[in-house]
């Protein structure tokens, strides 16, 4: 990675920290490029949002590589995470408080493994009310926070793999390979319903987008240090 490559166009894989928004990561890198190299008009964008409560692979594109964002976004994605059975939240994750609890004592491991088959293939999914999808000119989460009721249409998504990797009730570890537009929060909620119970997503990490892998991603602090180091090298 060089200054010239960044200006011309580069794809940079970042391991997004927990609690950061994808937009905050983009802004941070844009700020560092501006202040370190004096680059004022460089385009920087990301290829696929990660929720603040998710960590993992976030792909940044600079310069001419921003034209590749749509192609990268369209590639299949791999996630690992944890579903907590026995409780639901309005946001389907930990952003909101638990609003209903369920008894999980009668759910067997066999039932948990078997329930995944309902969600493999082309399925219909209802996005969470706490999401960035626009409805009537506002984001759905804006409607939700205002206490407004809105109709949310189902979406067609494709799930290539939904595998349970560990069960430690009430927590269920999983790996999912899915298409663009899949909400893992909705998958967690629907998984609970399939077990005649409740569930929400308690942890999520994106590990792959197409051929891009979290193993090749920069830690954000390390990337920033590398950018500063580049500026000290002879031109």
| Residue 213 pLDDT class (50, 70, 90 cuts) | very high
In 3D, which of 51, 27, 41, 39 has the Cα closest to residue 131?
51
Encode pLDDT of 150-208 as tens digits. 666 778 999 999 999 999 999 999 999 999 989 999 999 999 999 999 999 999 999 99
Encode pLDDT of 137-146 as tens digits. 555 555 455 5
**Can you give the pTM of this predicted structure?**
0.89
Delimit the CATH 3.30.2350.10 region(s) of the chain: 77-209
Using alpha carbons only, give the angle 185, 16, 215 rounded to the nearest 5 degrees. 100
For residue 228, count other CB atoms closer than 10 A to its CB: 12
Flag whether pLDDT at 60 surpasses 60: yes
Q: What percent of the chain has pLDDT over 70?
A: 88
What pLDDT, on a 0 to 100 scale, did the predictor assign at position 174?
Answer: 98
Sequence-distant (≥ 6) Cβ neighbours of residue 67 within 8 angstroms: none
Residues labelled as active-site residues? 51
| Residue 136 pLDDT class (50, 70, 90 cuts) | low
Delimit the CATH 3.30.70 region(s) of the chain: 3-74+211-232
Mean pLDDT of 72-100: 95
Flag whether pLDDT at 9 surpasses 70: yes
Flag whether pLDDT at 132 surpasses 80: no
Report the topology of domain 77-209.
Pseudouridine synthase (3.30.2350)
Average pLDDT value over all residues in the chain: 89
Sequence-distant (≥ 6) Cβ neighbours of residue 50 within 8 angstroms: 16, 22, 56, 57, 58, 206
Report the topology of domain 3-74+211-232.
Alpha-Beta Plaits (3.30.70)
């Amino acid at each position: 990675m060089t200054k010239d490559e960044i200006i011309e166009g580069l794809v940079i894989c970042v391991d997004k920290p927990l609690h950061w928004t994808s937009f905050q990561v983009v802004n941070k890198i844009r700020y560092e490029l501006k202040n370190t190299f004096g680059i004022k008009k460089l385009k920087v964008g990301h290829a696929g949002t990660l929720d603040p409560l998710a960590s993992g692979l976030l792909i940044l594109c600079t310069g001419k590589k921003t034209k590749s964002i749509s192609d990268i976004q369209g590639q299949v994605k791999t996630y690992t995470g944890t579903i907590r059975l026995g409780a639901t939240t309005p946001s389907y994750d930990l952003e909101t408080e638990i609003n209903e609890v369920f008894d999980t004592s009668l759910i067997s491991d066999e039932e948990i493994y078997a329930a995944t088959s309902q969600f493999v293939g082309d399925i219909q999914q209802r996005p969470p009310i706490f999401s960035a999808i626009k409805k009537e000119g506002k984001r759905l989460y804006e409607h939700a926070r205002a206490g407004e009721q809105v109709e949310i249409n189902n979406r067609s998504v494709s799930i290539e793999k939904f595998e349970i990797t560990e069960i430690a009730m009430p927590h269920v570890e999983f790996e999912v390979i899915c298409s663009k537009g899949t909400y893992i929060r909705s998958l967690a909620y629907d998984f609970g319903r399939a077990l005649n119970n409740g569930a929400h997503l308690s942890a999520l990490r994106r590990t792959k987008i197409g051929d891009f892998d979290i193993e090749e991603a920069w830690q954000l602090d390390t990337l920033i240090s590398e950018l500063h180091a580049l500026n000290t090298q002879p031109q």
